Homo-oligomer: A and B are copies of this chain.
């Protein structure tokens, strides 16, 4: 799960990013419209939290541009309580929800969870691979009915891999899912996490596609 936080006020942004990082996998931060536009075009985010008043322009233009590109990434806009018109315009431009500033961080998390559920990201949300069941909603993994404890990074890898069964996920896609842009990894960290995953879930859980990446197969 990968989020983009678009917010120019540094302290607020820092708090939000920290909070979300503790709860999800990778969070990127954009302080300007330019940065946000570049980020959105570059990576696949699962959700964008968009502050509307930015130093270099109106966040709505970004939202409109995304929707024009038929980019359906869920967007939550953050507006001040007295900006009712902005809020309406935002929803009309294709936002999935709004949240009033100043907002409570827990409310934000809940709102995000709701959006993602509504977006039907994964209809049944349970992903089955033989005896292995991955439940992104509850961030739980069961093997033969027994719960398996995963660390944060292990979960991030498994989450990304299990999202598209039978599809090869490149090492790069995994790195982007586990780390953001900034956090650079210079070693075989992904390999190591896959190795640790296999130790917990069984050798066959993750198939390696030499030269490209990894894949999880149905059955």
Number of copies of this chain in the oligomer? Answer: 2
Q: Is the CB of B118 within 8 A of A138?
A: no
Q: Is the CB of A209 within 8 A of B97?
A: no
Q: How far is the CA of A170 from the CA of B154 in the complex (A)?
A: 17
Q: Is the CB of A138 within 8 A of B152?
A: no
Contact residues, A87-117 vs B (CB, 8 A) = 97, 104, 106-107, 109-111, 114
- Of B106, B109, B176, the residue contacting A184 (CB under 8 A) is B106
- Of B167, B168, B181, the residue contacting A106 (CB under 8 A) is B181
Q: Is the CB of A140 within 8 A of B167?
A: yes
A139 within 8 A of B: yes
Q: Scoring A residues 144 to 158 as 1 if CB is less than 8 Å from chain B, else 0, what string do you get? A: 000101011000000
Q: Is the CB of B210 within 8 A of A152?
A: yes
Q: How far is the CA of A213 from the CA of B149 in the complex (A)?
A: 12
Q: How far is the CA of A175 from the CA of B19 in the complex (A)?
A: 15
Q: Is the CB of A210 within 8 A of B172?
A: no
By DSSP majority rule, is chain A's interface helix, strand, loop, or mixed? Answer: mixed
Q: Is the CB of B152 within 8 A of A168?
A: no
- Of B97, B181, B217, the residue contacting A41 (CB under 8 A) is B97
Q: How far is the CA of A207 from the CA of B138 in the complex (A)?
A: 14
Q: Is the CB of B114 within 8 A of A41?
A: yes
Given the interface pairs A140-B167, A212-B139, the reply to whether A110 lies near B172 with Cβ below 8 Å is yes
Could you list 5 further interchain pairs (A-B, Cβ under 8 angstroms) beyond the known A41-B111, A106-B181, A110-B176? A41-B114, A109-B172, A140-B167, A147-B166, A149-B207
Of the A-B pairs whose beta carbons lie under 8 Å apart in the complex, a sample of 23, sorted by A's number, is: A23-B172, A41-B111, A42-B107, A42-B111, A42-B114, A43-B114, A104-B181, A104-B184, A106-B172, A106-B176, A106-B181, A110-B172, A135-B167, A137-B167, A138-B167, A138-B168, A140-B166, A140-B168, A142-B166, A149-B207, A149-B209, A151-B211, A152-B210
